[in-house]
Amino acid sequence: MLKVEGIASFVAVAEAGSISEAARRLHLSKSVVSERLADIENSLGTRLLHRTTRKISLTEDGTAFLDRALRIMREMEEAAAEISERRGTLSGPLRISAPVTFGRRHLGPALYPFLIANPAIELTLDLDDRRVDVSAAGYDAVVRHGVIEDSRLVAWTLAPSQRVLVASRAYLERYGTPTDVEALRTHRGIFYVNRGVADWQFVGESGTQSVRAKVALRVNNGDMMLDATLAGVGISLLPGFIAGEAIGRGDLVPIEVGASTAHEFIYVAHPEGRRTSVKLRAMTEALRNAIGTPPYWDAWKDAESGRSVIA
């Protein structure tokens, strides 16, 4: 009969790549881990690991068993967390993926008080601007920015979001301020590579309009886009959660071109059909409260019209 401690030891060794490292993570001796591995292999009647003096690797049966073992361990953790939640305590593992810049600037500061108030939660936060498959990657949820497209996900909105054309005063003094969409074609642009080609899209009275500016810089990081814009390299189309503080200080100027960008959202998404834990709901509510309505980073906007105020 398979024992839970044997499964846990096998998973730890598979993830660590060595018995000694797995023993350290489990706070056990190497001999105990080795004994548990032997027990589970005897129970299954097969070798799960290739052992050499230099390394440990999975056998074909070990690779097949690992996926099931991970699922078993996750379900046990979730079951324990559910019991704690029934007793009024938020506890257990929570794995979230989020964009890098939003995570560093806003998500982290909003999460820290939540984690302090709920010390039994074990949060893993992966910051990555690439889109991940929530179910396949084993995440409880992802935090995303943009339009809600994936129909396999259930989305909980954290805040509305809209991108703003911005430039430094030095850039506008050097190249002039564009007053319509077409005028942007002659300007230097800073673009986020993960959004595709160097096009900006706007929504006006005649529908959606795309414009391509001259490429000054393409980069896959929002913080670097902001830094380059502040340095006067070019014009950027940045979300408010990146540009808002700099606009409020007067370091960046929002540019009005007679058209706006599409309305987007910052949201938490989890796989459809999966039971959502109380701790995930509590975390989402904590994030909403920290961000506020409207979001605190949009304080620079005119309170009445919600439109950009150009200084």
Question: pLDDT, tens digit, for every residue of 207-230?
Answer: 788 898 999 999 999 999 999 999
* Predicted local confidence at residue 105, as pLDDT: 94
Same topology, domains 90-161+264-298 and 163-254? Answer is: yes
**What is the torsion angle, in degrees rounded to the nearest 10, for the CA atoms of residue 71, residue 77, residue 83 and residue 88?**
-130
Q: Can the peptide bond before residue 178 be classed as cis, meaning omega within 30 degrees of 0?
A: no
Whether the predicted pLDDT of 268 surpasses 60: yes
Which of 54, 40, 35 has its CA nearest to residue 7?
40
> What residue segments make up the domains of the chain, in order of their start?
4-85, 90-161+264-298, 163-254
Number of Cβ within a 10 Å radius of residue 186:
11
| Residue 188 token pair | 């230097």
Q: pLDDT of 8-66, one tens digit each?
A: 888 888 888 888 888 887 888 888 888 988 888 888 889 888 887 677 888 888 888 88
* Predicted local confidence at residue 299, as pLDDT: 92
* Predicted local confidence at residue 311, as pLDDT: 34
**What is the torsion angle, in degrees rounded to the nearest 10, for the CA atoms of residue 131, residue 133, residue 139 and residue 143?**
30
90-161+264-298 belongs to which CATH class? alpha beta
Q: pLDDT of 164-180, one tens digit each?
A: 999 999 999 999 999 99
Fold of 163-254: D-Maltodextrin-Binding Protein; domain 2 (3.40.190)
**Check whether domain 4-85 has CATH 1.10.10.10, yes or no:** yes
Q: What is the mean pLDDT of the chain?
A: 86
What is the spatial distance between Cα 44 and Cα 166, in angstroms, rounded to a whole number? Answer: 62
CB proximity list for 89: less than 8 A, separation 6 or greater: 120
Higher pLDDT, 241 or 70: 241
pTM (global) more than 0.85: no
Q: How far is CA 99 from the centre of its chain?
A: 4
* Predicted local confidence at residue 50, as pLDDT: 84
Rounded alpha-carbon distances, angstroms, from residue 269 to 36, 99, 259, 297: 38, 13, 30, 22
Give first-to-last CA distance, the chain, whole Å.
73
Q: pLDDT of 286-304, one tens digit each?
A: 999 999 999 999 999 853 3
For residue 301, the number of C-alpha atoms closer than 13 Å in the C-beta half-sphere is 19
* Predicted local confidence at residue 127, as pLDDT: 93
Q: pLDDT of 115-132, one tens digit each?
A: 999 999 999 999 988 877
**What is the torsion angle, in degrees rounded to the nearest 10, for the CA atoms of residue 216, residue 217, residue 222 and residue 226?**
-40
Whether the predicted pLDDT of 308 surpasses 50: no
Number of Cβ within a 10 Å radius of residue 211:
20
